[in-house]
Structure 1
Amino acid sequence: MPAPADRPLLLAVDAPSLLHRGHHAHVGSGRLDRGGRPAWALHGMLRLILQVLEDLTPDAVVFGLDDRRASVRAERYPAYKAGRKPKEPELVEQLDRAPGFLAALGLHAVQPEGLEADDVSASAASLAEASGWRCTIATSDRDAFAHISEHTSVLRLITGGIASAPLLTPARLHTMYGVPAAQYLEYAALRGDASDNLPGVAGIGEKSAALLLAVAGDMAAAWTDVELNAGDALRPALDDACEAEGRSRVGRRVVTALTSEGARERYDFNVEIMRGRDDLDLGLDLSRLQHPGPGVLPLDPDRVRRVVDHLDDPTLTDHALRVLARQPTGDGAAGAVAPAHR
């Protein structure tokens, strides 16, 4: 099998997270398309996409979209994401236009019924690993961290654009949170996620969650000791680890939290809601990619020019033609980004 760096790369783009970033970063611009409609979020998303494609040069690309009409998670948990501020009407309009925009360009997008872009990312990571490929997920959402592995990295687009976006690998994730990539979902379920209105296990914070996983090995072992032995093995092991790190003992507090009423149910529920679906049919056959076909570049230059021209930014049109259609343009290398993550 080829070395990881030599394997083909599947890029999975979390389109809604990029649209949200584009909206909040550029709402003050008031940018409109040639039809007079708000276009700053679509414009910002496309700029980021082009930069990511130039930087990573993937062999195939898939875009994940949320189903904005229905949510299996919200049906299961009506308070899901309930703490978020209502979306501005201009953002909602551009979120609704995004599927048609990507399709018009000729880009391959998947909008699974009742699910989210993160489920597309999880399925892309699974498909890439099964096909002997690598996968990089481009997103601003830390939910994708649960999919990081030796085969999958996350390009986290936060502030400063592509040049300052960290490419998160298992080693880098461990440095950030103190947990192995394979245990990030367990860590997140213990900690909770305020952005999704998912409380964690009461009494367990980020530091104690990381320590618990380091000591127990995984939550299956921790729950077994708590439920069968009242935490008799876990408590002293946590205290020993604290003493080795020069920290105050937390064994009694953590075991008390885990034995509290509803703790196991809260943890299991969080795992259920947070876990991304990794078995979706993405309409990609990575063993037989050919052009033209889903997820494959280059795109038709006439389509690219027609669609991007509607955003009324000639520089962006030239950039899109160069990256998406691989067409030389009059401005040479303007707008290009030097590879930083390859």
Structure 2
Amino acid sequence: MPTLLLVDGHSQAYRAYFGVKTPLTTRRGELTTAVYGFARKLLSVLKEYQPEYAAVAFDVGDTWRHTEFPDYKATRERMPDDMQSQMERIEQMLAAMHIPTVSKEGYEADDVIGALAKQAAEQGFDVLVLTGDRDMFQLVDDRVRILYTRGGPNPKTDVYGPEEFKARYGLTTEQYIDMKALVGDASDNIPGVPGIGEKTAIKLLKTYGSLDNLYAHIDEIRGPKTQQALRDAAETVRRNRELVRIITDLDIPFEPEQFRLQGIDRSALRRLFEELEFFSLLREIEDAASQPVEREDGQLSLFGDEVQEQPAAVENPYQVIENVDALAALLDTLAAAPLISFDVETTATDPMQADLVGLGVA
């Protein structure tokens, strides 16, 4: 079955921006932390899952949720100025990779992704949603899996399909929405029921099945404080349920050919990565495991199926420097050489994670 990758754009960019202690900058002083993290994660997912179709969804200002609840996300700080400039760089990168971006006024990227995921699944696509937002878990079904990226300097991505979701929460996706309504969401400034956390909410929903049935049997709730808290928050909880529910019936048609991956614009991506000094990422693009294939239109497939013929191996003598005398002899040789080249040997290609283990010179 064809696979569609949907990326929660701002979520991934923020994860990258706030995920490291030491920001990345170019020699000119341009901050690139968010762009680099976004690019590395996107390229990694494209390489691992090799989807035939992809799109990145972005938020565009206030939404219907702000109208419904004016305090929605009110505690969040505005996007830093240097983050805004990096979002522009991310859009340039996506354009060079010919990956379409999608948004809709009045709605969040969650809603756009939800609508596209539902339509694609109905058309027989397998859908992957790359996000750092657990609200997306409500989209999980037999066709839709969530690639949930945690925060931190070394973000791990966990895959959530129906089995993984059930193992973690023991709920249906509809019950998950009810659970979020009870607990609230501090990151979105959505207040929950005082004294009710995730474990208690899950227990209540396993007992009563749904939010509506829970309130239909409110008299049975043990613990006078818990029962009263639920009574007092009844209106808030019902409003929360609408706020946390992802809208999946937006008027955004999923037309597969608009989302088919067409290969990258090699020269444009090279110029951008050179400007941003993403040399390790540029090498990864050029030395992809399956060998990128240049097409007649001058574009380059990210991970083509054809494998180019490899040059014959050439035997070159080398010497391992293991003591001071050998190092002194090497320095004399290098001092007399008209030209030298060098390369670093590291434990990884990611400069944010790699450790230096050696230096090669010729």
Normalising by the smaller structure, the TM-score range is 0.7 to 0.9
Q: Distance in 1 between matches of 2:106 and 2:97?
A: 25
Name 2:94's counterpart in structure 1.
102
2:281 to 306, 316, 326: 316
Distance change (3 Å), C-alpha of 1:163 and 1:203: closer
Deviation of 1:271 after TM superposition, in Å, equals 1.5
* Alignment of structure 1 residues 102-121 onto 2, 5 Å: 102-121=94-113
Residue 294 (1) aligns with residue 265 (2) = no
Residue 276 (1) aligns with residue 234 (2) = no
SS in structure 1 at match of 2:276: coil
Counterpart amino acid of residue 106 in structure 2: G
Q: Distance in 2 between matches of 1:80 and 1:157?
A: 23
1:132 to 102, 124, 129: 124
Q: Distance in 2 between matches of 1:43 and 1:20?
A: 12
1:17 to 11, 20, 23: 11
Q: Distance in 2 between matches of 1:193 and 1:11?
A: 26
Deviation of 1:46 after TM superposition, in Å, equals 0.7
Name 1:3's counterpart in structure 2.
none
**Over alpha carbons, which structure has the higher Rg?**
2
Deviation per CA, 1:304-334: give whole Å up to 9, x if none: 33333332222212324547533689999x9
Asked if structure 2 preserves the Cα contact closer than 8 Å seen for 1:14 and 1:63, the reply is: yes
Deviation per CA, 1:29-63: give whole Å up to 9, x if none: 332387x5322211210111000111112121111
Q: Distance in 1 between matches of 2:151 and 2:104?
A: 28
Higher relative contact order (CA 8 A, sep 6+): 1
With 251-260 and 208-217 compared, the bigger mean Cα shift is at 251-260
Deviation of 1:120 after TM superposition, in Å, equals 2.2
Distance change (3 Å), C-alpha of 1:223 and 1:329: farther
After TM superposition, the score normalised by the length of structure 2 is 0.73
Name 1:244's counterpart in structure 2.
none
Asked if structure 1 preserves the Cα contact closer than 8 Å seen for 2:19 and 2:151, the reply is: no
Name 2:231's counterpart in structure 1.
259
2:302 to 306, 320, 325: 325
* Number of residue pairs the alignment of both structures matches: 300
Q: Distance in 1 between matches of 2:128 and 2:206?
A: 27
Q: Unmatched 5+ residue regions in structure 2?
A: 293-300, 312-347, 351-362
Distance change (3 Å), C-alpha of 1:269 and 1:156: same
Q: Distance in 1 between matches of 2:114 and 2:10?
A: 15
Deviation of 1:196 after TM superposition, in Å, equals 0.5
User: Which has the larger share of helix?
Assistant: 1
Deviation per CA, 1:171-214: give whole Å up to 9, x if none: 22233233223321111111100010101123422122101111
Asked if structure 1 preserves the Cα contact closer than 8 Å seen for 2:96 and 2:264, the reply is: no
Q: Distance in 1 between matches of 2:212 and 2:17?
A: 41
Share of identical aligned residues, percent? 29
Q: Distance in 2 between matches of 1:181 and 1:12?
A: 19
Deviation of 1:79 after TM superposition, in Å, equals 1.4
SS in structure 1 at match of 2:90: helix
Q: Unmatched 5+ residue regions in structure 1?
A: 1-6, 236-249, 337-342
